[in-house]
Amino acid sequence: MCPTNPHEVHPAEFQGINEAFYAEDPSSYFKTRLSLLVALCDSGGATASAIEAGVRYGGISARSAPGTPEELEGFAAIESLSLLHQVTETVMRLFLAHAQHEPCPALKMAKSTNFREFKNRLANIRDEDFPDLLSEARLVFRGDDQFERFKGLKFSKWTEDGEHLIAFLTDSARILLEDSDPYNSFKHGLGIQASHPSITLGAKDDNPFHYDSPAISYLHRSNGSDTSRWSRTTSMISIEANLAMIVVALEELGALWAVGSRRVSSESITVNFMPANRRAKLVANATDRGVLSFRVTQQFPTTH
């Protein structure tokens, strides 16, 4: 039976496309980037020293003086933001490509070129208005949505894992929808600057709150009813919290890939459930050492 659209790929080709698609886990690429970022910024590590001494690939060599602690912190702030957004978008696009029993996720991913449509689906996930979100999440990331099929698993752990999956997906959608301005500034010409400001809020004698953390500044159109106004925002961030969220996202990306690849090969699916509190502890411990999302915005006057 031929596809309704004569230009569509014939279903007989799906198996081969899927096998090629699952040949390499994309999380390995992101894990390498994460390791390089951490290694470069590790004050006691050898990576910065190696770069200073000179490194070579084939006929190309590179060498640079080690950055100051402030420069390395600025690099880590920008790179952790970039990596977090890229990993998060990859996981969310793959989730949407695998949801609803999609027979050829690779093809669905390739067709997903309408960014407005992608944002609308993210909004549905953020607002938990996505059809059967928990069931779809369990099927995509765990391989099944029926508790009885996971032998030896405690129901409390099953429930906690479901809560984690919903939190992970809604938080990921929120990152892409609500924190897109600094990432867009980064990818559109590196229009983003790193700094380390110190800000105090409150009267001196009234136990003021003190912010002292890495930050990024960028230009963007104002959010709200008057989107024609331009602003400069400085966002205080926690590099360690960004890294923690990347680690969690990579664990789920690996789980999704394991489930999808085993379905293609008809192998039995074995899922190692991540402890439900691992994600919360990772991010909480990291956030304790820095500010996650405090922002100062300056709105520019217009010509009218």
Whose CA is closest to 231, among 223, 243, 242?
A: 223
- pLDDT tens, position by position, 47-59: 877 877 888 888 8
- pLDDT tens, position by position, 26-40: 999 999 999 999 988
- Is residue 121 within 8 A of residue 99, CB to CB? The reply is no
Whether pLDDT at 276 is above 70: no
Which residues lie below 8 Å from residue 299, measured CB to CB, with a gap of 6+? 222, 229, 230, 231
Q: What is the Cα–Cα distance from 53 to 100, expressed in whole angstroms?
A: 52
- pLDDT tens, position by position, 203-246: 667 767 677 788 889 988 876 666 678 888 888 888 888 998 99
